[in-house]
Amino acid sequence: MNRIVFILSIVLLIAFYILWVQSGHSFGGIIIIIGIMALVYFRRRYLNMKPYWAGSLRDIPKYFKLP
């Protein structure tokens, strides 16, 4: 997943969350958490980064850079 798809996916996820809450449904936070975890997983996989337990949090800015 490249940078543009990653950022657009986050924007769409937030828009979906806003629509979900406005429509009166509950458990929107769970959708956000699972969605962000999936997006971060695929972004890390695309960048060939180490898994969470072997990496550090200093590599988070790499999510928004080109590989």
The model's pLDDT over 35-67, given as tens digits with 9 standing for 90+, comes to 888 888 888 788 777 666 666 667 777 777 766
- Report how far residue 29's alpha carbon sits from residue 6's, in angstroms, rounded to the nearest whole number: 19
Cβ contacts of 67 within 8 Å, gap of 6 or more? 2, 46, 47, 48
Q: Are 47 and 62 in contact (CB under 8 A)?
A: yes
**Crossing angle (nearest 10°) for helices 3-22 and 28-46:** 170
What's the domain range around 11? 3-64
pTM value?
0.64
**Can you give the pLDDT at residue 67?**
62
25 CB neighbour count, 10 Å cutoff = 10
The domain total for the chain is 1
